[in-house]
Structure 1
Amino acid sequence: FPNVEVSMTWRDKLLFAVPAAAGAGPLLVKVLPSLGLIAGLVVLLTMGPDFARQWNLDTGEGRAIYPILIAVMSASFALGGFAVKQYLNYKNKKLKFQKRVTDTLFFKNLVTNRGVLFTIVDSAEEELGKEMVLAYHHLRRAEKPLTERELDQRVEQWIEKHCGKHVDFDVRKALGYLSAYQHDGRPIVAENGGHWSALPLDEAKTTLDRYWDELFDYPG
């Protein structure tokens, strides 16, 4: 880095060479007769007409060249197509590797001090939101108001049952944030004599909606 050069490992070379060799075998069997005719033509041109007469070959008839031309064309198309296919496979593998390198460098570039800080803050806010939802849900489903200890035990038991994890639920923080969401003096959760209760879901949604609307009340 930054001058990245693409190179193939032994594993990549094997993954590229083995399928190529497997595909080349049947292809050679198909073009072998054509290669034989081409080899015969080369020998004929090299040794001359005397060699052909020794084997009783008629070189004077023009039609004798047609099978050889067809053989040359067939072998050229077959071998050329196979070579192009293997070259394109190599180029595709090279492009995939370069894309992987680019993606890796891109995401590593995002992991700066500011990015790490934003990630931590987002995770903390998300976990706080989960705690508030769990606290409200169990208060709303309870048949009677609950103390902090009772609510804490209910939430921890629910998490252990459904998630298989034992956690120390911070019930006091969740209740503190929930009680801060209020409208016209009615919070989403309220305490009375050490026992906590929650508004019905529709009223809680209305309270949240009005609370958020009043956060940015622009007198325009």
Structure 2
Amino acid sequence: MDAEHFLPFRKSAVISLCAEELPDAERASFLEFARLLAALLHHRFHVRGDSVLDAYQLVDPAEDERTIRAATPRDRAAARATVERELVALAEAADFTRIDAAEIERSFAEHSLVKVRLEIDDDDIDTAMFFRRGVAQRTEKVKWLYGLRRRSVEFTSYSKVLVYIAFTERPQATADRPNGGVLLKMFQNVPRNDLEMLYPRVRVRMRPLDKLLIGVPAVISGIIVLVTKLIASLGLLVLLLAFWLGLREESVLLDQTALVTLGAGVAAFGGYLVRQFSKFKNRKITLMKTLSEHLYFRNLDNDAGVFHHLLDAAEESEVKETILAYHFLRTADRPLTAAALDQRVENWFRARWETTFDFEIGGGLRTLRELELLTEDDDGTLGAVALPEAKQRLDRRWDNLFRADIPISSAASAGS
């Protein structure tokens, strides 16, 4: 797979790594700049979160919250469009990658790490979106030879998987098939070949091995029951059938011994069928238990909580990208192009921290440009505003944040 945009360092770690490269006299000032920048971006995402959560409340109302007016179908349709648009945007901002249909189909075809065969019921699914973040190769011990031994299996795992399912509007709703609505979940440590387990409605199907484990012993035990319990009863039944069909003239005497023999044989055969059916049901229950435990320990968040998770992750990602872009532009010995800046950040993490990722330079530069912390020359090279001036501009923006909606240009000219 291509390198991900996700940088596996916390925001505080990235700020500390940049600060450690600065002279002692600049370190405290840079940390103050980083705190101001983080506070401004936090407010921006707070406002954005309120908007998307209001829309999500119309799409999937919380049972413990009341609404001031009933939503119309048009309101819900507009809210769902907002939810889906913001979900995609926030997922991308949080460095999630959209899982395409080919990758999902491959997970259905390949061998699952959990020994469960599934069939998806997608008749009522209108829209399905899967996102992943944090691709890693892992090794896990799995049972082999009917649990007698264990072997190591290497597989691709996703640190986090985001699932969005929107259901089709139906004339009549039931408990298991709701009318419209959405399902939003986030999972962690999901093997790539187990993506089908994350669908909301799946049916457990017997694998060929499961059928053999039940079928072969059933055939053997059936033969034993037939030979030891039913042979006398079958002979009696054959004679009765031949007499009733006119193939035998001599009548069959049904005395007490014959009736007892016949009843014992039928009871034995009935008990055998009940035992085999119970084995089949118990095997299916075991598979369902395996599936439930697999999902339970991997479930990370649900419903509106997923948006809170995404907002935090997107905010942290934007702070990291902006800090890195500003730091490397400011400490460069000459103006840099966007491509050169991108390469410089990636090389620094690869050389010093053995971390490979695809730095998303566009997000950091866009934020610097919006906050007027970026200088751009006619030849396309970029630079950063000096640290004291950058702090003043952020401080003015923070002071004016709750006064009025002052345009960026006006706020900048007011302090000059």
More strand by share: 2
Flag the structure with larger Rg: 1
TM-score when scaled to structure 1? 0.45
